[in-house]
């Protein structure tokens, strides 16, 4: 019966019954549910109509940011991210699950330790954030294989199609992750309100497409696991695939993506003429008119590939201007489910990334990889999200169309309106959306008070729109029972308290703005405000010149209007006291971050972060007769003004930090390429003995398969040893290796270096031909090949099977020899799919000798492993091509109560190509490729680093070329000093060094 859930409505009823019983709520007949549904609902907590979703009957704009828990393997930091997102004014987070990390071996699903999602769910609930779960099984996401475990390469059927063996391969994962998600649904008291099956089921070069049967299979997997909340889709572009309707494979709510400026950050100021879409709302009306207009991923930054320009450039491309112009365009379409990809990117630690990206997945998101929130785009996004929190009329407004004439006489300005009863929103942009020129305009608006009015009205003033800017003006806008007749200044927030109403508005630097309140009685408390008062209305006209203006309007029952310039507005916060209610929001001016605010009797308890001495001003929400004000538990002296504004100061003085100088550590060294020595014993390596590959995507060019995934090696460095008996006539050896873009490989004949493929940013395989020294007839020689696997490719277009692109040796030729006369063995990480270190998952550890031995794990220095003293990777380095492993310990003693992100910086020294991997307490937290770049700074979060103890640091250094290889520098640096309200961050438990049985 369960299998039929959501296929037939009778069965759906049965499923519904199961769900309701599961949450132990009394049975209600389905006919009692809030309507309308397109089909039978399975629960009554998350519902929707054409305008919005409802949660517990309440309409909301699901304003969401993408975060990947697996890119921040420190559970204690989840609350930090959620609070920083909540502080933005968001109410949602969307997350992918990366199957590759959870089922490294077919049939063995592990969701423990850092891969346990429960702490993520708990932190979301604590912060008051709803979740959209996106378990795939295919996710893309710039992760290895697009989320596919490497063993998917052995599946014959086409990926992401109805091929039976493919679908079977997904069953175990989907049943398990489905159960985890189901348990955390809002119907069970958890934070999950929506689930997305598949991801961008949009592009295919095989038919049938879209295949409803396939999509239905994925949906059934999710439903059968007990998921009852609505299913939402994520088309890569608005094509209407699987949108609600008749037939199989339909989702409940249709959604799509948008990345208007793409992913090349090298020309970050160029906005193409046609990158702003104008037709999405009309498409929505034809594709899915019965569901809210939903954008499941909208560009929040950009990824950056190996050799790319770096995230600083992406930060310019997707900056605050981008947010203003592109996001306000979406609001003009009436979007009410909106997720920004990414909001916090994090780190591709431990080989989890795909070859198209490097270690950092900063993404130029609003929250930086090191969790700092000092980017302007964070603040801009906060202004926007906060506005919608207090603008319920937006949710059900009818959407107008873009016009250059209706509201203004300047054709350079385009206005799109939205109307809800008499309330109107005006979304204003440049007609040539990407112009750098500013335009001045007046707006003709409709108000109940004045009919058609051209604003601003105050003598001689007009509005202006700077280049690459966009605004939202309002009229007949309710502020808690009083009417804001219109405002050209944008609204950050407002709140009606028992004793007053606080309204905070802002304008771009230097702009003139005007607002009219249907309230009379004016006292200007601060700054220069031009005003007029007529027939029950007060007009305020101001210049956003950097000085705050405050007006008190009313008699007895006052509205305090704070008029700011945008840069000052960045320092204002509206903090909800309850997880999902802004009924008692506290509005305050502070600094770097405000996390929580809570009234406790006559006390106000604040938590937050400061990076400088910070004046605080509580404009509304403090209890009257405030007795005590605390910030992160410290009591602050405060003053309360005649107007009831509370002010205080949070002091800041930097703690004394001692950050170790890494060059003076007691470094140890071990050779990590013993495999080229004649004495090396490879008897435990796997024989490359498959005459047929499992890989359905690519035939062999070699007599036996040398594809690493055929043998269970899917991650990190791969090693091959090929033995042959010489004729003495061999002159050259050629080889094609494949490791994904920017990979490298090196080849030795016995212990003699033949050469390397040094890697190129955009080449995923390479052909090398090496001259051989004179060989002696009848002697046996060993060719050792080391290949860096950059992760598996994604599988964006169905039918391309790119996730099956093999890694390893694709072909080789030894002159005078039949290929079959070379017998090969290979290894990757110790154990292959039976990976040893369960705590760090199937991908963290590759096949380097030091890794196979577990020497990257804490405690390894005590091992009898042949360590020798060394001056380290900077002073000593390697004297010749090869792979060396350097390790040392250092202590940190960073006081609690501070958030002090640290990062390792590698300085380049050499024109010779090399690559290095950084391990911190056993976690691979950086891959550096000096000849490709761009990343040189590697942030490592607290929790991976032990801030109050001993840390184990290791560097694997692989020199690709003749001559010595050294790092030019290796430093541990402080990226910020922030006094924080974040609680303590525990050190993440990982396996420590134990002698490894059977390691070779
Ligand atoms: C979109 C994917 O859904 C997402 O997983 C990620 O890969 C993102 O791109 C890029 O960072 S696909 C988009 C190009 C339409």
CA of 342 from ligand 1 middle (Å) equals: 10
- Ligand 1 atom having least distance to the Cα of 258: 15
For the domain 10-374, what is the CATH code? 3.20.20.80
C-alpha span between 200 and 548 (Å, rounded): 46
Best mutation site among 198, 259, 265 for ligand 1 pocket (most ligand atoms within 8 Å of CB) = 259
CB-neighbour burial class of residue 90 (10 A; exposed 0-12, middle 13-18, buried 19+): buried
pLDDT tens readout for residues 564-611 = 999 999 999 999 999 999 999 999 999 999 999 999 999 999 999 999
Going by alpha carbons, the residue nearest to atom 4 of ligand 1 is: 141
d(CA 205, CA 160): 12
Distance 143 CA to ligand 1 centre (A): 11
Identify the CATH class of 674-827. Answer: mainly beta
| Active-site pick, 66, 142, 198, 200 | 200
Q: What phi and psi, each to the nearest 5 degrees, are found at residue 605? A: -110, 115
Which protein residue's CA is at the shortest distance from atom 9 of ligand 1?
Answer: 141
Q: Whose CA is nearest to atom 15 of ligand 1?
A: 236
For the CA of 342, the closest atom of ligand 1 is 11
- Nearest-CA residue for atom 13 of ligand 1: 236
139 CA: nearest ligand 1 atom = 5
575: three-class secondary structure by DSSP: strand
Residue pair 892/983 in contact (Cβ under 8 Å)? The answer is no
Q: Which residue has the tokens 């502080």?
A: 87
Query: Is 297 designated active site?
Result: yes
Q: How many angstroms is it from 148 CA to the middle of ligand 1?
A: 15
Taking the C-alpha atoms of residue 222 and residue 137, their distance in angstroms, rounded to an integer, is 10
- Percent pLDDT > 70 in the chain is 96
The residue nearest atom 8 of ligand 1, judged by CA position, is 141
HSE-up of residue 474 (Cα within 13 Å, Cβ side): 27
**DSSP per residue, 834-850:** S-S-TTT-SSS--S-HH
Torsion of CA 197, 202, 204, 208, to 10 degrees: 70
293-347: pLDDT as tens digits: 999 999 999 999 999 999 999 999 999 999 999 999 999 999 999 999 999 999 9
d(CA 728, CA 706): 26
Choose among 699, 662, 703, 761: nearest CA to 969: 662
Residues with CB under 6 A from ligand 1: 139-142, 199-200, 236, 257, 259, 297, 303, 341
The alpha carbon of residue 555 and the mean position of all alpha carbons in its chain are separated, in whole angstroms, by: 49
Compute, in angstroms, the gap from residue 142 CA to the centroid of ligand 1.
8
Residues of the chain with pLDDT under 70: 1-40
At residue 684, the pLDDT reads 98
The two domains 662-667+848-979 and 674-827 share their CATH topology (first three levels equal): yes
Predicted confidence at residue 535, as pLDDT, reads: 87
* pLDDT at res. 6: 34
Indicate which residue's Cα is closest to atom 5 of ligand 1. Answer: 141
**CATH number for the domain whose boundaries are 662-667+848-979:** 2.60.120.260
The token pair at 61 is 């704009």
Ligand 1: atom nearest CA of 140 is 5
> Which residue, 496, 103, 62, is CA-closest to 292?
62
Residue 96 CA: which ligand 1 atom is closest? 5
Compute the distance between CA of residue 163 and CA of residue 219 in angstroms, rounded to an integer.
16
Residue 710 CA to ligand 1 centre (angstroms): 28
Distance (Å) of CA 797 to CA 125, 143, 159, 494, 818: 36, 15, 10, 46, 38
Q: Active site residue: 297, 511, 543, 801, which one?
A: 297
Q: What is the best residue among 257, 295, 300 to mutate for testing ligand 1's pocket, by most ligand atoms within 8 Å of CB? A: 257
CA–centroid distance, 144 to ligand 1, in Å, is 14
Atom of ligand 1 nearest to the CA of 200: 3
Tracing tokens 């000085």 back to the chain, one arrives at 547
Which residues have a Cβ under 8 Å from the Cβ of 935 and sit 6 or more positions away? 310, 358, 359, 360, 926, 928
- Main-chain dihedrals φ then ψ at residue 184, nearest 5 degrees: -100, 15
127 CA distance to ligand 1 centroid (A)? Answer: 27
**Closest atom of ligand 1 relative to the 257 alpha carbon:** 15
Query: How many other CB atoms are found less than 10 A from the CB of residue 832?
Result: 22
What is the Å distance from ligand 1's center to 216 Cα? 22
Domain ranges for the chain = 10-374, 392-650, 662-667+848-979, 674-827
> Which residue, 567, 368, 569, is CA-closest to 976?
368
Nearest atom in ligand 1 to 234's CA: 3
Q: Are 775 and 728 in contact (CB under 8 A)?
A: yes
Ligand 1 mean position to 235 CA, how many Å? 10
**Helix (H/G/I), strand (E/B), else coil: 594:** strand
Q: In this structure, which residue's CA is closest to atom 12 in ligand 1?
A: 236
- The residue to mutate among 140, 199, 361, 796, having the most atoms of ligand 1 within 8 angstroms of its beta carbon, is 140
The yes-or-no answer on residue 198 being catalytic is no
Distance CA 495, CA 59 (A): 19
Strand partners, 533: 538
Q: Name the residue with the closest Cα to ligand 1, atom 6.
A: 141
> Which residues, 6+ apart, have CB-to-CB distance to 922 below 8 Å?
837, 840, 844, 856, 857, 858, 952, 990, 991, 992
Nearest-atom number in ligand 1 for the CA of 363 is 11
Give the chain's count of helices (H) and strands (E).
14, 56
141 Cα–ligand 1 center, Å: 6
Centre of ligand 1 to C-alpha 98, Å, is 14
Q: How far is the CA of 132 from the centre of ligand 1 (A)?
A: 16
Residue nearest to atom 10 of ligand 1 (CA): 141
Residue among 410, 459, 408 at smallest CA distance from 439: 410
- Given the DSSP bridges, would you call strands 752-757 and 868-869 parallel, antiparallel or unpaired? unpaired
Say how far apart CA 515 and CA 505 lie, in whole Å: 9
Ligand 1, pocket-test mutation among 98, 141, 300, most atoms within 8 A of CB: 141
> In a mutational test of the pocket of ligand 1, which residue from 100, 200, 798 has the highest number of ligand atoms less than 8 Å from its CB?
200
* Angle in degrees, 0-180, between the axes of helices 118-127 and 78-87, rounded to the nearest 10: 30
Q: Which fold has domain 392-650?
A: beta-galactosidase, domain 2 (2.102.20)
Contact status, residue 805 vs residue 820, Cβ threshold 8 Å: no
């Amino acid at each position: 019966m369960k299998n039929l859930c959501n296929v037939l409505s009778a069965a759906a009823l049965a499923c519904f019954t199961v769900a309701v019983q599961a949450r132990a709520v009394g049975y209600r007949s389905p006919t009692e549910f809030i309507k309308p549904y397109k089909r039978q609902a399975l629960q009554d907590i998350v519902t929707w109509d054409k305008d919005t979703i409802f949660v517990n009957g309440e309409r909301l704009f699901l304003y969401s940011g993408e975060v990947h828990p697996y890119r921040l393997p420190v559970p204690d930091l989840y609350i930090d991210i959620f609070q920083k997102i909540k502080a933005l004014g968001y109410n949602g987070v969307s997350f992918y699950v990366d199957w590759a990390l959870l089922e490294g071996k077919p049939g063995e699903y592990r969701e423990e330790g850092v891969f346990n999602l429960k702490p993520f769910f708990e932190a979301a609930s604590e912060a008051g954030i709803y979740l959209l779960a996106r378990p795939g099984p295919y996710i893309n996401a710039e992760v290895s294989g697009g989320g596919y475990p490497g063993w998917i390469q052995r599946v014959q059927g086409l990926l992401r199609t109805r091929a039976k063996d493919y679908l079977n391969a997904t069953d175990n994962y989907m049943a398990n992750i489905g159960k985890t998600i189901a348990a955390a649904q809002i119907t069970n008291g958890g934070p999950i309100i929506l689930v997305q099956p598949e991801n961008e089921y949009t592009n295919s070069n095989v038919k049938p497409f879209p295949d409803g049967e396939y999509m239905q299979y994925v949906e059934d997997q999710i439903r059968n696991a007990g998921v009852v909340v609505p299913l939402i889709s994520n088309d890569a572009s608005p094509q209407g695939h699987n949108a609600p309707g008749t037939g199989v494979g339909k989702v409940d709510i249709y959604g799509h993506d948008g990345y208007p400026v793409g992913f090349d950050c090298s020309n970050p100021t160029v906005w193409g003429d046609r990158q702003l879409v104008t037709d999405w709302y009309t498409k929505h009306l034809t594709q899915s008119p019965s569901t809210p207009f939903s954008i499941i991923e909208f560009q929040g930054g950009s990824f950056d590939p190996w050799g790319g320009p770096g995230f600083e450039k992406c930060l310019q491309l997707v900056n605050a201007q981008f947010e203003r112009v592109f996001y306000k365009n979406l609001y003009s379409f009436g979007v009410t489910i909106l997720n920004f990809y990414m909001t916090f990117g994090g780190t591709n630690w431990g080989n989890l990334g795909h070859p198209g990206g490097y270690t950092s997945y900063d993404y130029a998101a609003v929250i930086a990889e090191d969790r700092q929130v000092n980017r302007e785009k964070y603040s801009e996004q906060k202004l926007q999200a906060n506005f919608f929190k207090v603008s319920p009329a937006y949710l059900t407004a009818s959407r107008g169309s873009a016009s250059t004439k209706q509201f203004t006489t300047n054709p350079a300005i385009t206005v799109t309106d939205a109307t809800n009863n008499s309330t109107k929103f005006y979304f204003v942009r440049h007609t040539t959306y990407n112009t750098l020129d500013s335009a001045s305009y007046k707006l003709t608006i409709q108000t109940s008070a004045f009919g058609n009015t051209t604003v601003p009205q105050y003598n001689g003033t007009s509005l202006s729109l700077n280049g690459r800017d966009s605004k939202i003006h309002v009229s007949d806008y309710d502020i808690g029972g009083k009417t804001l007749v219109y405002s050209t200044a944008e609204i950050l927030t407002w709140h009606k308290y028992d004793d007053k109403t606080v309204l905070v508005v802002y304008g771009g630097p230097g702009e003139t703005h005007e607002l009219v309140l249907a309230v009379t009685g004016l006292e200007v408390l601060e700054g220069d405000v031009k005003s007029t008062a007529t027939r029950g209305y007060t007009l305020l006209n101001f210049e956003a010149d950097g000085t705050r203006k405050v007006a008190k309007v009313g008699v007895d029952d006052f509205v305090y209007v704070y008029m700011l310039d945008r840069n000052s507005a960045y320092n204002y916060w509206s903090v909800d006291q309850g997880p999902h209610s802004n009924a008692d929001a506290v509005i305050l001016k502070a600094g770097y971050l405000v996390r929580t605010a809570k009234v406790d009797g006559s006390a106000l308890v604040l938590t937050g972060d400061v990076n400088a001495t910070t004046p605080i001003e509580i404009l509304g929400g403090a209890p009257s007769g405030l007795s005590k004000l605390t910030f992160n538990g410290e009591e602050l002296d405060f003053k309360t003004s005649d107007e009831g504004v509370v002010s205080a100061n949070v002091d800041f003085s930097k703690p004394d930090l001692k950050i170790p100088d890494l060059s003076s550590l007691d470094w140890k060294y071990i050779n990590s390429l013993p495999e080229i020595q004649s004495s090396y014993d490879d008897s435990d390596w796997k024989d490359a003995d498959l005459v047929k590959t499992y890989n359905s995507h690519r035939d062999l060019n070699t007599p036996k398969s040398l594809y690493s995934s055929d043998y269970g090696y899917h991650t990190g460095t791969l090693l091959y040893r090929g033995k042959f008996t010489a004729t003495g006539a061999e002159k050259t050896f050629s080889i094609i290796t494949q490791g994904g873009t920017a990979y490298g490989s090196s080849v030795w004949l016995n212990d003699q270096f033949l050469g390397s493929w040094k890697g190129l940013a955009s080449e995923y395989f390479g052909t090398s031909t090496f001259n051989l020294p004179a060989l002696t007839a009848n002697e046996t020689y060993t060719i050792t090949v080391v290949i860096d696997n950059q992760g598996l490719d994604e599988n964006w277009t169905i039918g391309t099977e790119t996730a099956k692109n093999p890694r390893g040796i694709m072909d080789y030729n030894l002159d005078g020899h039949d290929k079959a006369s070379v017998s090969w063995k290979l290894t990757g990480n110790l154990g292959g799919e039976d990976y040893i270190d369960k705590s760090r998952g199937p991908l963290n550890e590759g096949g380097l000798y030091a890794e196979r031995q577990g020497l990257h794990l804490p405690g390894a220095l005590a091992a009898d492993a042949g360590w020798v003293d060394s001056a380290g990777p900077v002073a000593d380095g390697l004297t010749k091509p090869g792979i060396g492993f350097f390790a040392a310990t250092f202590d940190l003693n960073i006081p609690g109560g501070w958030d002090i992100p640290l990062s390792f910086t590698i300085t380049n020294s050499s024109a010779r190509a090399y690559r290095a991997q950084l391990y911190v307490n056993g976690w691979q937290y950086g891959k550096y490729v000096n000849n490709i770049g761009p990343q040189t700074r590697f942030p490592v979060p607290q929790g991976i680093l032990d801030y109050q103890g001993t840390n184990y640091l290791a560097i694997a250094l692989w020199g690709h070329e003749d001559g010595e290889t050294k790092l030019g520098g290796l430093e541990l640096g402080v990226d910020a000093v922030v006094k924080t309200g974040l609680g303590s961050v525990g050190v993440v438990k990982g396996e420590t060094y134990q002698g490894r049985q059977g390691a070779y």
